[in-house]
Amino acid sequence: MKKLGFIGAGNMAEALARGLLAKKIFSAAELIASDVDQARRRKFTRLLKAETTADNLDVVSQSRVIVLAVKPQTIDVVLGEIATALSANRKRSTTLFISIAAGVPISRLENHLGANTRVIRVMPNAPAMVGQGMAALVGGSHATKVDERFALKIFRAVGEAVMLDDESLLDAVTALSGSGPAYVYLFIQAMTEAAVKEGLPAELALQMALQTARGAEQTMRQSRMAPSELIRMVASPGGTTEAALRSFAGDRFSAIVGAAIHAAAERSRELGRSR
């Protein structure tokens, strides 16, 4: 038996497997992944030395824990296939399923796999691919505390992870950490373009914007001061930072960010209802 199987061997599955191997939580021999794309299977095996297959049921039959890493639009077909195999092999209660399929609620997973199936739903984000992810997890009605600890260990191999009690909070999580990397990229792009207009070469402007973002993030983590306190530390009265902050306030920067996150959360709720 494999300790962990992936149905879907895309970027997130690859990132998780790489993190687990790097931290020696699992060995390559303890992992297996399936994918319909032969190129993805070859890459997974080449990079990670783990077994791959074109047959999802190979993963189901061999794995104690299965990560569902398929696109939301294909998950119903995959779940139906798995449910048939579980019934035939009577594995339903002994297999833990961890789903990273965006917007697919626990109720839908349990309806397909069976009400007694142990399920955990996860909202990860793209920085997991560089070991700096942020994931939020919610357990289904039959997931145990041991299941939750196991799932947290998997996602903490590629960043940080937290358990939530309320699945409805995943809409806000999606809007914040799920979509959030794009907001950061947008802000850094805007800072870079503005600095170029002020005369800096584009390459230098991007280098400085990136390092400034990294330094600010590390300062915030290490100082444990509130953001408002850190802002006051940088913004001397009558200085350049204060002038920039006044401009942000005049353009209602905080309200713009709030509206954007609300729009993302509302879209997440709409997608959940439509499925």
C-alpha angle with apex 273: 268 to 274, nearest 5 degrees?
95
Is the same domain home to 118 and 197?
Answer: no
42 and 147 belong to one structural domain:
yes
Residues 64, 3 contacting (CB under 8 angstroms): yes
The per-residue pLDDT for 275 is 65
Say how far apart CA 241 and CA 203 lie, in whole Å.
Answer: 23
Whether residue 9 is found in the same domain as residue 98:
yes
Cα(119)–Cα(136) distance, integer angstroms: 14
User: For every one of its 275 residues, what pLDDT tens digit does the chain have, with 9 covering 90 and above?
Assistant: 789 999 999 999 999 999 999 999 999 999 999 999 999 999 999 999 999 999 999 999 999 999 999 998 899 999 999 998 887 766 556 899 999 998 899 999 999 998 789 999 999 999 999 999 999 999 999 999 999 999 999 999 999 999 999 999 999 999 999 999 999 999 999 999 999 999 999 999 999 999 999 999 999 999 989 999 999 999 999 999 999 999 999 999 999 999 999 999 999 988 877 66
Rounded distance, CA 101 to CA 275, Å?
12
Last residue of a domain, one of 137, 170, 203: 170
Report the distance separating Cα 135 and Cα 21, nearest Å.
19
Chosen domain end from 148, 170, 192: 170
pLDDT value for 273: 78
Q: What is the CATH number of the domain that holds 136?
A: 3.40.50.720
Query: Total domain count for the chain?
Result: 2
pLDDT given at position 227: 95
Residues 13 and 139 in one domain: yes
Same domain, 150 and 183: no
pLDDT of the residue at 257: 97
pLDDT for residue 76: 93
Predicted pLDDT of residue 92: 56
Question: Do residue 135 and residue 32 come from a single domain?
Answer: yes
Residue 220: give the domain boundaries.
178-273
The distance of Cα 213 from the centroid of its chain, to the nearest Å, equals: 21
Establish how many alpha carbons lie within 13 A of residue 44's alpha carbon, considering only the half-sphere containing its beta carbon: 30
